[in-house]
Structure 1
Amino acid sequence: MAPHFISNHQARKRFCLLLLCLFTWVQSIAQITRIEPPFWYSDMNHADVQIMFYGKNIAQNEVSATNLIIKNVQKTENPNYLFVTIDTKNVAPGTFVFTFKNGKKSFTQNYTLKARKKDSALRKGFDSSDMVYLIMSDRFANGNPKNDSSPNLIEKADRANKDGRHGGDIEGMIQHLDYIKELGATAVWPTPLCEDNDERGSYHTYGQSDVYKIDERFGTNEEYLKLSAELHKRGMKLIKDYVTNHWGYKHWMMDDLPTYDWINQFPGFKQTNYRMTTQFDTNASAIDTKNCMDGWFVKSMPDLNQTNPLVLNYLIQNAIWWIEYADLDGFRVDTYSYADKKGIAAWTQAIMEEYPHFNIVGEAWLYSSAQIAYWQKDSKIAAIQNYNTHLPSVMDFMLQGILAEGVLNENKGEWNKGMVRIYNSLSSDFLYPNINNILIFAENHDTNRLNQFYPEFEKYRLTMMLLATLRGIPQLYYGSEIGMAGDKGQGDGDIRRDFPGGWPGDSQNAFTKAGRTPNQQKYFDLTAQLFNWRKDKNVIHTGKTTHYIPENNVYVYFRHNDQESVMVIINNSNEKQTLSMDRFQENLKKYTTGTDVLTLKSIPLNQSLTLEPLSGSILELK
């Protein structure tokens, strides 16, 4: 019996030793809990890839790699991070092995380089030939009610709460792409879709908690890829709403920052003064400039410090990764002018060097053409300060502000009111380095609804005629095309209402012609007619603008090139007006008739026109 007892004891001892070894091995493997970027691509201009390894005391390890050159290993004051830069130049796609060694203990970690899509670097971004359809992602359509809430995320669906999550998702967008295309849109801009784990208000998703992962309540990364593919099948484009200025305070790093200065701290929280003029004002004080740039947008959105090279490179790589991974056609960058000036310019330049024909439009919410134009690439205004954003496109808040202030309600044609305000706005076009590459719009997800401040169909019609024919890239906000309204005074939830028919059980489905009311159909038909006409009109996309000083609140302008000419007439008067053609001969020249785009009627150009109150015409000249 004794030998048998010794044998069992030895077996138990060996088993315990094996368990201890296994436990130690598992512990060492578990050191790495995150790798970002999760993979990369070969044959990239951004060939030096800085991989962030995160895990308990990961920095205590020495790291090596098989068949890869490690150019730099950077540790920070936080031992849970290790930033490893590898050289991927001329490295073929494949899976590579990193070895982490701490004394006698070691473990390995695979990392993959994938092949790029053919001609990926030459992708063509959105441009003035496009019409952009802006979707509030949570409020458009609920294609999969099963993902409305997630056990992994705090805020649950509550459609009864106008500021809660309602369940709109990626599948809902995919199901209605044909509707969007029918409307004449050629590009889709959904508000951010990456994870936002705030306890409340997370539906807008501008306070992201994981910038490599689609929020589970919107879908999955794979569904986002499907959205991109389905758009491309239809000849349409996908614009990602990107946030460089801040994250959400529930971002996974916030509990364990890589460095103290990963975010701007004062120490801790200080709110921005929102005075973006400090970024170019030669008279601005240093403290005001710093507080604008480094202050937090709101308390729940920690401000990222783009002066930290690790942060800047993280943001550059994340942006490039998404373009390559999801086959994107553009970025709209939130709060562009709040980020560190040098940092955001370097971020933009790096992306445009990787994708020279890509497009990025930045939000610089300013109501001055000069101040907006400062932020566009190669601005002569910014050059005075030896600054260049490298940003291809900016948003025309000047035009949007004039429309939102009620210019179409100024019907008497006074010296400084009515159409002359739009004329004056366009007279500053010389300030923009590329006037065709600016985003023009009447509203978005942060402003009052167009149909709220102009409830009359006639004024919606005039607004759409302007957006369809002015220089730049027109953007439409979801639901406007069926007359949806919303009062920002009632809170953001009111300007972000659910699209009728987007939810199972909705009493009305405005996605279908049969489901629309006659009034909704009137809005839809006008919008679709204008923007489908615009699709192949090079004269509108890139033609020159010649405009005439408004008289009696009638604004006339021409879009023209060597092949075509279009005459636009906007009568913003409450009274009938008679328009003599004599004044416009420098543009009419040889043309004798014009075909009205909306009525298809032939209009003689050798006699005066009678204009109905609050009416307009778009004439293709013959």
Structure 2
Amino acid sequence: MKKLLYILLLGTTAVFAQLQKVEPPFWWSGMHNPELQVMFYGNNIAQYTPEVSNGVVITGVTKTENPNYIFVTIDTKNIPAGVLTFSFKNSKSKVAFTQQYELKQRRENSAIRESYDSSDMIYLLMPDRFANGNPDNDSATGVTEKANRADSNGRHGGDIQGIIDHLDYLEELGATAVWSTPLCEDNDKAYSYHGYAQSDVYKIDPRYGSNENYKRLSAEMKKRGMKLVMDYVTNHWGAEHWMYKDLPTYNWIHQFPGYSQSNYRMATQFAPNASQIDKRQCVDGWFVRTMPDLNQSNPLVLKYLTQNAIWWIEYADLGGFRVDTYSYNDKEGIAKWTKAITDEYPYFNIAGEVWMNDQAQIAYWQKDSKIGAIQSYNSHLPTVMDFTGMDAIAAAFNENETGWANGMQRMYDNFANDFLYPDINNILVFAENHDTGRLNEIYKGDFDKYRMAMALVATVRGIPQLYYGSEIGMAGDKGKGDGDIRRDFPGGWKGDSNDAFTKKGRTDEQQQFFDYTSKLFTWRKNKEVIHTGKTTQYLPYDNVYVYFRYNDTDTVMVLINDAAESRTLKTDRFAENIKQHTSGTDVITGKKTDISKEITLEPKSALILELN
């Protein structure tokens, strides 16, 4: 918003009141929660008394120790779309200046918008590394770090237009939703490409494009029946955030005083015998020095974050959130934040990053968890992420034999704990993401191992997520730094020698990976039996894992041979699920397989059969 300068004549004294920021910049009429808190920021603005037009009632005015802020809460119930006028009066009750404020008309059925669920496949990408659709914005003015593609940790120039340009590719791949790492402005001097140290949460980073570009991306995706998922960060901002440079109040962020790093021990959030100092160090400690930790227990902060999240949902017509570092937040505050959003949008899905290594501890954070209820806690978070499943996938397919706790037994044991989750179909299933080791690096480019992993991700309960580039065999060594697991997608930049976005431009190896992934997830799109069906799994023998997904009308049999030799299975062991079926159709090749007596599996292979 442009800086407005008002010159106020009070006797012979000229007073300068600079209104620099109004947030949210606009709002909507007809919201479920009619209470709206508008933050006005400007030099000594707290000296004025606000009023508002159109019969709107001011229900609260909050001033802090910083005179440059004033928080005005209004009741928008039954107030139609239109323009309001805020008037600011001086000590003599004279209007010093005014500010118009728009309440927009909501989209039809905005409150009951669809969101992602187990029928979707989410494609996770890092926009700076995906595709450069507009080279003119690579080194935008107003932000510090400029493009340097030679630096693995620098800005490379990928942007929103690059995503829009390749929606056909994503659709062909079988993706129905896109989760992009944060796109809001991150004005760090270095490493700003990841976007998790945001400096303005109402503004798309100009190196990615504009707010309008982001809205257009959402609209283009909706035309294809796809959903745009925003990566939202509640736990911290970046040290370059304009508010951090002039804090509204001392406890807007967690102070010790000043900086102290988190111990990252999230179990302290619920451990009944945890010391208070350890718990505080986890929750209130900063993730890193460049990311000030937000204090969600401060009502002003919580309201600001809640309204910002809702603003983006309405503005960009979003189809869901993924929330970064969910379990590092003040747990009562984040529960209120989550509930406020899902109260406004009952079908809106939010996946929280709860990176823990124990299913019970992850399940604690899912909505209506009986584990959380032991401590009278409900996060209201619809979806948690299956990090234990990810760990099992990374290890299991590199092990040729089954033991008590290795090989395919890892997968069986992971799913054996599904009873801990209150909504097992609403769990995010993945083999890797932007913070973990690259799957194809762990597997050393072994296509057979990739094929087994993807067969599993695509057919077990939950919402599958694919990390960009894995579908063409991309690798990357985390030991070399995050930049190496976040390489540029080949063909996303003009002049790239290899264009993996097109069949013509792919190598034979890239095409092999792509064909399998595309066939698998395209098949999955319309398979309700996979989306919401029940599961029966059988103990792995000789490192062969078999499970069934079924409902009243369909049955799918999944066989994964993680052994280095071929295996022949007698099928009478699976009679309770096979029932009257005598054959199955391979969903990848279309070939029929006789299952009446036995099935032979190739070494390191996966077979997905729709039973006939």
Normalization by structure 2: what TM-score? Answer: 0.97
Q: Do the aligned partners of 2:8 and 2:96 also contact (CA within 8 Å) in 1?
A: no
> 1:476 is matched with which residue: 466, 472, 480?
466
The reply to whether residue 50 of structure 1 matches residue 37 of structure 2 is: yes
How do residues 14-93 of structure 1 correspond to structure 2 at under 5 angstroms?
Answer: 30-67=17-54, 68-93=56-81
Q: Do the aligned partners of 1:486 and 1:494 also contact (CA within 8 Å) in 2?
A: yes
- Counterpart of 2:437? 448
Taking the aligned partners of 2:377 and 2:77, their CA distance within structure 1 comes to 31
How do residues 354-373 of structure 1 correspond to structure 2 at under 5 angstroms?
Answer: 354-373=344-363
How do residues 384-533 of structure 1 correspond to structure 2 at under 5 angstroms?
Answer: 384-404=374-394, 406-454=395-443, 455-533=445-523
Q: Structure 1 residues 27 and 474 mapped into 2: Cα distance closer, same or farther (>3 Å)? A: farther
The reply to whether residue 237 of structure 1 matches residue 238 of structure 2 is: no
Greater helix share, structure number = 1
- Counterpart of 1:262? 252
SS of equivalent residue, structure 1 residue 163? coil
Taking the aligned partners of 2:67 and 2:440, their CA distance within structure 1 comes to 54
Q: Do the aligned partners of 1:29 and 1:107 also contact (CA within 8 Å) in 2?
A: no
Post-superposition CA distance 1:459-496 (Å, at most 9, x none): 00001100110100000000000000000000000000
> 1:309 is matched with which residue: 299, 303, 307?
299
Q: Structure 1 residues 542 and 105 mapped into 2: Cα distance closer, same or farther (>3 Å)? A: closer
Taking the aligned partners of 1:388 and 1:396, their CA distance within structure 2 comes to 19
Offset at residue 610 of structure 1 (A): 1.3
Post-superposition CA distance 1:93-139 (Å, at most 9, x none): 00011111113461110000000000000001100000000011100
- Output the amino acid matched with 2:584: G
- Counterpart of 1:228? 218
- Counterpart of 1:621? 611
- Structure 2: where are the runs of 5+ without partners? 1-5
Normalization by structure 1: what TM-score? Answer: 0.95
- Counterpart of 1:548? 538
SS of equivalent residue, structure 1 residue 33? strand
Q: Structure 1 residues 561 and 286 mapped into 2: Cα distance closer, same or farther (>3 Å)? A: same
Taking the aligned partners of 1:26 and 1:187, their CA distance within structure 2 comes to 58
- Output the amino acid matched with 2:439: L
Q: Do the aligned partners of 1:378 and 1:390 also contact (CA within 8 Å) in 2?
A: yes
- Output the amino acid matched with 1:465: A
Taking the aligned partners of 1:235 and 1:27, their CA distance within structure 2 comes to 57
Taking the aligned partners of 2:222 and 2:558, their CA distance within structure 1 comes to 32
How do residues 43-442 of structure 1 correspond to structure 2 at under 5 angstroms?
Answer: 43-67=30-54, 68-102=56-90, 103=92, 104=94, 106-404=96-394, 406-442=395-431
Q: Structure 1 residues 378 and 27 mapped into 2: Cα distance closer, same or farther (>3 Å)? A: farther
Taking the aligned partners of 2:209 and 2:33, their CA distance within structure 1 comes to 29
Taking the aligned partners of 1:451 and 1:75, their CA distance within structure 2 comes to 54
Q: Structure 1 residues 24 and 127 mapped into 2: Cα distance closer, same or farther (>3 Å)? A: farther
- Output the amino acid matched with 1:60: Q
Taking the aligned partners of 1:330 and 1:316, their CA distance within structure 2 comes to 14
Q: Structure 1 residues 191 and 27 mapped into 2: Cα distance closer, same or farther (>3 Å)? A: farther
- Counterpart of 2:3? none
Offset at residue 605 of structure 1 (A): 1.5
Post-superposition CA distance 1:406-452 (Å, at most 9, x none): 21111122232100110000000000000000000000000010100
- Output the amino acid matched with 1:155: E
Offset at residue 590 of structure 1 (A): 1.3
SS of equivalent residue, structure 1 residue 247? coil
- Output the amino acid matched with 1:31: Q
SS of equivalent residue, structure 1 residue 31? strand
SS of equivalent residue, structure 1 residue 578? strand
Offset at residue 599 of structure 1 (A): 1.7
Offset at residue 598 of structure 1 (A): 1.2
Q: Do the aligned partners of 1:451 and 1:460 also contact (CA within 8 Å) in 2?
A: yes
- Output the amino acid matched with 2:124: L
SS of equivalent residue, structure 1 residue 566? strand
Q: Which runs of 4+ in 1 moved over 4 A?
A: 19-30
Q: Structure 1 residues 457 and 80 mapped into 2: Cα distance closer, same or farther (>3 Å)? A: same
The reply to whether residue 599 of structure 1 matches residue 593 of structure 2 is: no
Q: Structure 1 residues 584 and 222 mapped into 2: Cα distance closer, same or farther (>3 Å)? A: same
Q: Do the aligned partners of 2:153 and 2:191 also contact (CA within 8 Å) in 1?
A: yes
Offset at residue 255 of structure 1 (A): 1.4
Aligned positions, number: 603
Post-superposition CA distance 1:35-60 (Å, at most 9, x none): 00000000001211000000001000
Query: % of aligned pairs identical?
Result: 65
Post-superposition CA distance 1:12-37 (Å, at most 9, x none): xxxxxxx9879999986852100000
Q: Structure 1 residues 29 and 37 mapped into 2: Cα distance closer, same or farther (>3 Å)? A: farther
Taking the aligned partners of 1:437 and 1:65, their CA distance within structure 2 comes to 44
Taking the aligned partners of 2:122 and 2:97, their CA distance within structure 1 comes to 49
- Output the amino acid matched with 1:278: T
- Counterpart of 1:6? none
Q: Do the aligned partners of 1:28 and 1:106 also contact (CA within 8 Å) in 2?
A: no
- Output the amino acid matched with 2:27: W
Larger radius of gyration: 1
